[in-house]
Structure 1
Amino acid sequence: MIDTSAVVKGERGKDLVLTIDMVFQKQLDSIVMEELKATKNHSPYLNRYLEDAMAIAVKPKTGEILAMSGAHYDRKKQKYENADYKVMYDTHQPGSVVKGATILTGLQSGVIQPGTTFYDEPVKIAGTPAKKSWKPYGLGTVNDIQALKVSSNVYMFYIAMRMGGEYHYQPNKKISFQPEAVTDMRHSFSQFGLGVQTGVDFPYEAIGYRGEHPKAGNLLDFAIGNYDTFTTLQLAQYVSTIANDGYRVRPHFLKEVREPAAEGNEPGPMRRSIPADILNKIQMDDKYIKRVQEGFRQVAQAPDGTANKYFNTKPYTSYNIAAKTGTAESEIYENGKKAADTENHSLVAYAPMDDPEIAIAVLVPNSGVGMGYPDNGNIAKRTLKAYFDLQESSSKN
């Protein structure tokens, strides 16, 4: 028999209060799972490679994570399961949601000015397939704000070409390209939290994959979110930075540390509260940020904005939403061979635009091409409604 004795008397640890709103969290879990199931059921064959849907809601001014949810379909087990960790760990090409960063990079670098226009028609560089916007024959003449509203790829291509040194593009001709432009654009994107650690108070987070071939065509793809990969959490920090007039805030789960209560289950006296931690202010003129904010407002609120179909009815019209949609091409490979073309659907938003309370990011990778089911939009609109309904309910109590 071995004798034991207490060296230090045990005591109850401190109480941790998290930023998560449990009512909102349960609602977001239901929304994401229901929309993943609905999307797969809508087009089972087209969506045979669709496995995940992810969403996160944060307070942009403080970085408090209000709710974070991931849903996963295990194809082998044919079973749906929760997978919240994917919001921080899984990375994908998000598509056009990053165009706010591209516009700001172009404005700050001086390759475009506020109001600069380009004619949106397919871009054809010698020896490469044509690159175009979502309308086959183009979107006509657009400026920087309009390019966000209607999601012009071609406008972003011109920014990328100019970043690479090409100011005189001609169809079917080679273009000038300075490889350091890729580094310059990545550095600019990193100011928003894209491609770098967000600083979240969790043991691990992914930062994404950086494409390894700095070619001209890849720089054009980078400008529309079709090259490097990012997490849903990074997208939330990015849109929060735009909502915050350029201030990037660390996202966090811990809200307060309290002393243990003498009795009962209620938290004890406050020991420490977690303040907003500003990581950096993006190095861009405030007037440029205002133009991107206006572009995002038009995405959600203008009749021809790409997210207007989600937010053009009550109660969404009362939320004063700013948003950006995204679609990225994604190829599925099995046994070393291409099995299918899919799409990554994304959406970032914040509201109210003039005094943001909430910012969200939604990412649904590997959806069927042309399936016509707005998985990202449904998750986004239901998330915003759930939040504002809870706020209204709380104000009445």
Structure 2
Amino acid sequence: MRRILDIIKKRTGSQAKSTIPFRLNLLFFIVFVLFAMLVAQLAYLQIVYGGKFTAEVDRTDKTVMTGNVPRGMIYDSKGRLLVGNSTSNAITYTKSGSVKSSDIYTIANRLTKYMTVEVGNLTKRDKADYILAAPNKSEQVAKQMPKSYRVDSRGDSLTSTKIYANEVKYIEQQGIHLNDKDLQRATLFKKMSAAYSLSSVFLKDKNLTAKEIAQVSEHLTELPGISIGSNWEREYPQGKSIASIIGGVSTEQQGIPDDELNKMLASGYSRNDRVGTSYLEKNYESILAGTKSQREVQVGSNNQIKKSTLLYKGQKGGNLNLTIDSKFQKQVQSALEEQYNSAKAAGITQYSDGAYAVAVNPKTGAVLAMAGIHNDPKTGKTTEDSLGVINRTFVMGSAVKGATVLGALMDGVITPENNSQDDTPIYLPGTPVKKSVYPAGTFSSLTAIQALQFSSNIYMMNLAMKEANAKYTPNSYIHMDSDIFSKLRGYFNQFGLGVKTGIDISGETTGIEGATKNSDGELKTGSALDLSYGNYDAYTLIEMAQYISTIANGGYRLKPYIVQSIQKTKDDGTKGAYESVTKPSVLNKVGVTQDELDVVRKGMYAAVHGSGYWTTATRLADLSPAVAAKTGTAQSFYYDPDNPSSDPPETITTSLVSFGPYDDPNIAMAIVFPNLTSEDGGYPQLLAKEIYTDYYKMTGQK
């Protein structure tokens, strides 16, 4: 038995020894096969797809980047530069696609070795963003902050956005302590991070020294996206006497205004482009902005710019030549300020909100000067407000009476040969007597010319009553056709009163019409009479200038304009060929005959040169060449915006329209001094006299 067991054991052991090498061989064989398959696969990929993978590694995307060009200039009518560009060197950054915050962090830190920047308006969030952008800093903070900052109440991980917000919160809680150099770096980091992909931002464009430019230039290879460029800002060599007319340009930070964003992006603008935001700069944006430069940029698979090729250097913006002579403009503004200061010294401007003047060429519509002063009645502080000429309305008073007379002539209620009327005050039931400034009974009757000379309110009211087929019994009864308001306003509109003039500056408002019916739905007959002599509806000063120009030029309502021509810019920066020249634009021809027009022209001439105590514009009588004019005085009220419920104090608005020389007018003007406490002083006439004197001297008229 024992022998049998020894034999079995011996045989089993020999079999085990022979089995182990076989298993090892089998394992080696399997490994060999697997390696062979791997090598075969690698060989297959290398042979079949090797070129494709190599191309993928070396792949570049070509993108066309656009760059801004200097904005076009604005010149006055004599070729003087009103608005130009001040160019300066700049350090710029062009952001690559999908660039990491840590990369921007590194570049910002390196850049501060070679230049200093002014610390911007950094919030706590800006500083925290900078700190967290350091390599691996975000991960470190995530591990340090409380668990509740990483997971919700159920233990689920928060979103990456929420976790980052908590990282910022944690950093702020721990306290942020940055030295001046760090604050500079954080400022650069903020600017660079805010840039849009493949767009450029200015990192420093003021007080950049030659040393800083040299140092940055030497290290551009370690500063991806950084370049040396140039920037510009608007400058005003002739001062800012018409700055409000010219308008403004947005900053790089402001970029495109929200209300223009979609339209301008579709037109090829970038979000951070500087664009005209108001008035001439906005109206002529497409001209002034020029054509952007184009640069083809090759971006590698690592989203870094590999190559940049200039395709088109761009075209500098076109130039605007204005109708305004800057020297004359300054004289008008200075004269306006002088007269307004005189009114202040006289103590009659406590409720006044400013004064305005505009002069145009009645033959073309070209604006010769626009001047304005805005006064704060509470502080007495005045500011330049030329735009008040087109965007503020006033009840002008008797200055509109020329339109009233011409409307009556067109209506046929009077004729050039037969226009005398009784000058008897009008007595409406329950209403104070309606009369002229002079005492009742001063004149028994007046012609149209005399009515303009002496500024008779009664004469104008009688014209309105005739046009309205009025039935009138003094102190008892009056009835007028219900269309009297639309009839009077229709004639006024033909001259430009109560309608937009179409001037080529954005922001023009139109006159304000008073109500035609009272609360009971009855026709406001008394107000219709007030309308006839200019004491009801309100008009802008540019409307008044268009109205008087229409009378001066023979009945043609011309569109006023301030841009005379547009010129291209040559490569050397000088003015090139004309793109366009503004021609006079007739909006409508008023349906009056020359004889009818002469009635009003002679009446306005008599207002200056006529005799008699009540002649209204005699302060202009010694001007040579002679001029014609019509003064205006309207009752008005000062409404305190801070106390609207209080009873408004009564004020007086004085105005004037005029044209000259009388025989061949080449200047027409409108002036208004609203909300004075006295009409004494004749400030509109004194201002008009100064304007004529300066204009005649400038143009050599004798």
Q: TM-score, normalized by length of structure 1?
A: 0.93
Taking only aligned residues, the RMSD between alpha carbons, in angstroms, comes to: 1.8
Does residue 295 of the first structure (1) align with residue 599 of the second (2)? no
Does residue 36 of the first structure (1) align with residue 345 of the second (2)? no
Q: Does the 8 Å CA contact 2:461/2:529 hold for their aligned counterparts?
A: yes
Matching residue of 2:691: 383
Does residue 113 of the first structure (1) align with residue 421 of the second (2)? no
3-state SS of paired residue (1:339): coil
Correspondent of 1:263 among 572, 589, 595? 572
Amino acid in the other structure paired with 2:457: N
Over residues 129-178 of structure 1, what are the superposed CA-to-partner deviations in whole Å (9 max), with x where a residue is unaligned?
Answer: 11000112144110111111111100001011112211x54321311211
Does residue 72 of the first structure (1) align with residue 378 of the second (2)? no
Once the two structures are TM-superposed, the CA of residue 337 in structure 1 deviates from its matched residue by 2.5
Once the two structures are TM-superposed, the CA of residue 9 in structure 1 deviates from its matched residue by 4.1
Q: Does the 8 Å CA contact 1:40/1:50 hold for their aligned counterparts?
A: no
Q: 1:125 to 1:60 in 2, by over 3 A?
A: same
d(CA) in 1 for partners of 2:668 and 2:543?
12
Matching residue of 1:53: 355
3-state SS of paired residue (2:542): helix
Amino acid in the other structure paired with 2:694: A
Bigger proportion of residues as helix: 2
d(CA) in 1 for partners of 2:441 and 2:361?
37
Q: Does the 8 Å CA contact 1:332/1:338 hold for their aligned counterparts?
A: no
Q: How does 1:87-236 map to 2 (within 5 A)?
A: 87-114=389-416, 115-140=418-443, 141-166=445-470, 169-214=472-517, 215-236=524-545
Over residues 326-345 of structure 1, what are the superposed CA-to-partner deviations in whole Å (9 max), with x where a residue is unaligned?
Answer: 00000223432223211110
Q: 1:206 to 1:2 in 2, by over 3 A?
A: same
What are the ranges of 5 or more consecutive residues in structure 1 without an aligned counterpart? none
Once the two structures are TM-superposed, the CA of residue 246 in structure 1 deviates from its matched residue by 0.5
Once the two structures are TM-superposed, the CA of residue 374 in structure 1 deviates from its matched residue by 1.3
Q: Kindly name which structure, 1 or 2, has the bigger radius of gyration based on alpha carbons.
A: 2
Over residues 77-124 of structure 1, what are the superposed CA-to-partner deviations in whole Å (9 max), with x where a residue is unaligned?
Answer: 432211111010110100001101000111111122223212213210
Q: Does the 8 Å CA contact 1:200/1:252 hold for their aligned counterparts?
A: yes
Q: Does the 8 Å CA contact 1:132/1:138 hold for their aligned counterparts?
A: no
d(CA) in 2 for partners of 1:230 and 1:376?
17
What are the ranges of 5 or more consecutive residues in structure 2 without an aligned counterpart? 1-94, 98-197, 199-293, 297-311, 518-523
d(CA) in 1 for partners of 2:378 and 2:459?
42
Once the two structures are TM-superposed, the CA of residue 303 in structure 1 deviates from its matched residue by 2.4
Amino acid in the other structure paired with 2:507: Y
Over residues 211-267 of structure 1, what are the superposed CA-to-partner deviations in whole Å (9 max), with x where a residue is unaligned?
Answer: 1134111110001111110011000000000001100000001101112134354x3
Q: 1:308 to 1:203 in 2, by over 3 A?
A: closer
Amino acid in the other structure paired with 1:299: A
3-state SS of paired residue (1:333): coil
d(CA) in 2 for partners of 1:310 and 1:6?
65
d(CA) in 1 for partners of 2:340 and 2:537?
24
d(CA) in 1 for partners of 2:698 and 2:616?
23
d(CA) in 2 for partners of 1:154 and 1:82?
38
Over residues 1-45 of structure 1, what are the superposed CA-to-partner deviations in whole Å (9 max), with x where a residue is unaligned?
Answer: 516472664211211101011000000110111111110111x2x
Matching residue of 1:332: 638
Matching residue of 2:179: none
3-state SS of paired residue (1:337): coil
d(CA) in 2 for partners of 1:196 and 1:281?
15
3-state SS of paired residue (1:268): strand
d(CA) in 2 for partners of 1:309 and 1:300?
5
Once the two structures are TM-superposed, the CA of residue 288 in structure 1 deviates from its matched residue by 0.7
Question: Which stretch of structure 1 is more off in the superposition, 98-107 or 255-264?
Answer: 255-264
Amino acid in the other structure paired with 1:120: D
Amino acid in the other structure paired with 1:271: E
Amino acid in the other structure paired with 2:455: S
Q: Does the 8 Å CA contact 2:617/2:630 hold for their aligned counterparts?
A: no
Correspondent of 2:625 among 297, 300, 319? 319
Q: Does the 8 Å CA contact 1:15/1:268 hold for their aligned counterparts?
A: no
d(CA) in 2 for partners of 1:309 and 1:295?
13
Matching residue of 1:10: 314
Q: TM-score, normalized by length of structure 2?
A: 0.53
d(CA) in 2 for partners of 1:288 and 1:146?
15
d(CA) in 1 for partners of 2:543 and 2:658?
13
Q: Does the 8 Å CA contact 1:121/1:133 hold for their aligned counterparts?
A: no
